[in-house]
Chain A
Amino acid sequence: MFFKLIPTTGRPLYLQLMQQIRHAAETGALRDGDQLPGIRTLAEELVVSPNTVAKAYSELEHDGLLELRQGSGAFVCVKRRTRSLADHVQAARRRLGDLIERLREEGLLDEEIKRAFEAELLYPAGIVRKR
Chain B
Amino acid sequence: MTGTPVIQTRDLTKSYGGVAAVRGLNLSVEPNRITAFLGQNGAGKSTTIKMLLGMVRPSCGDGTVLGKRITDAKENCEMRRSVAYVAENKPLYGYMTVEQTIRFASSFYSDWRTNVAKKLLNEYKLPLQRKVKSLSKGMRTKLALLLAFARRPELLILDEPSEGLDPVGIELLLQMLVAQASQGVPIFFSSHQIAEVERVADDICILDNGRLLVNASLDHLRESYRRIDLVFPFAPPEYEFQIAGVERIHSQGHEMRVFASKNAEAVIEHARDLNAVSVEVAPVALRDIFLETVKEN
Quick check: A10 and B200 within 8 Å, CB to CB? no
**Contact of A51 with B268 in the complex, beta carbons under 8 Å:** no
The answer, among B34, B201, B272, B280, for a CB contact under 8 Å with A122, is B280
Question: Do A49 and B225 touch (CB < 8 A)?
Answer: no
In contact, B181 and A50 (Cβ under 8 angstroms): yes
Instruction: Say whether B201 contacts A127, CB under 8 Å.
Output: no
Chain B residues in 8 Å Cβ range of A12: 218-219, 222-223
Q: Which of A39-47, A85-93, A94-102 binds B?
A: A39-47
Q: Contact at A10–B284, with CB atoms within 8 Å?
A: yes
With A43-B178, A47-B171 as contacts: A8 and B200 at CB distance below 8 Å: no
Cα(A9)–Cα(B284), bound, Å: 7
Asked whether A127 and B265 contact (CB < 8 A) given A8-B285, A14-B219, A47-B200, the answer is yes
Do the beta carbons of A47 and B219 come within 8 Å of each other? no
Interface assignment of B127: CB less than 8 Å from any CB of chain A: no
Does the CB pair A7–B198 fall under 8 Å?
Answer: yes
Residue with the highest number of chain A CB atoms closer than 10 Å, among B32, B200, B218, B268: B200
Task: Give Cα A9–Cα B174 distance, bound, in whole angstroms.
Answer: 20
- Once A11-B222, A50-B181 are accepted as A-B contacts, the answer to whether A130 and B285 lie under 8 Å apart by CB is no
- State the interface size on chain A (CB cutoff 8 A): 26
Contacts of A50 in B (CB 8 A): 178, 181-182
Docked-complex contact A10 and B285, CB < 8 angstroms: yes
A126 within 8 A of B: yes
What residues on B are CB-neighbors of A127 within 8 Å?
265, 268-269
Minimal beta-carbon separation of B202 from chain A (angstroms): 5
Name A8's closest neighbour in chain B (CB-CB).
B285
Contact present for A9 and B285 (CB under 8 Å): yes
What A residues does B56 contact at CB under 8 A? none
Task: Report if A2 contacts B (CB, 8 A).
Answer: no
Interface string of A7-31 (1 = CB under 8 A from B): 1111111100000000000000000
The interface bits of chain B over 25-50 (1 if a CB of A lies within 8 angstroms of the residue's CB, else 0) are 00000001110000000000000000
Docked complex: B245-297 residues within 8 A CB-CB of A: 264-265, 268-269, 272, 278-287
- Contacts A48-B200, A122-B281, A122-B282: A8 and B178 contacting too (C-beta < 8 A)? no
Partner pick for A9 among B34, B171, B283, CB 8 A cutoff: B283
Please indicate the chain A residues that have their CB under 8 angstroms from the CB of B202 in the complex.
49, 51-52
A124 contacts B by Cβ under 8 Å? yes
Residues from chain B with Cβ under 8 Å of A49 in the complex: 33-34, 178, 181, 200-202
Cα of A51 to Cα of B174 in the assembled complex, Å: 15
Give bound CA distance, A49 to B182, whole Å.
8
Known A-B contacts A12-B219, A12-B222, A51-B32; A44 and B182 likewise in contact (beta carbons under 8 Å): yes
Given contacts A10-B225, A122-B283, 16 further A-B contacts (CB under 8 A): A7-B198, A7-B286, A9-B283, A10-B222, A43-B181, A43-B182, A44-B178, A47-B199, A47-B200, A49-B33, A49-B200, A49-B202, A119-B281, A122-B281, A127-B265, A127-B269
Contacts A/B (CB < 8 Å), 15 sampled: A7-B195, A8-B287, A10-B282, A10-B283, A12-B218, A12-B222, A14-B219, A43-B181, A44-B179, A48-B178, A49-B181, A50-B181, A51-B32, A51-B34, A124-B268
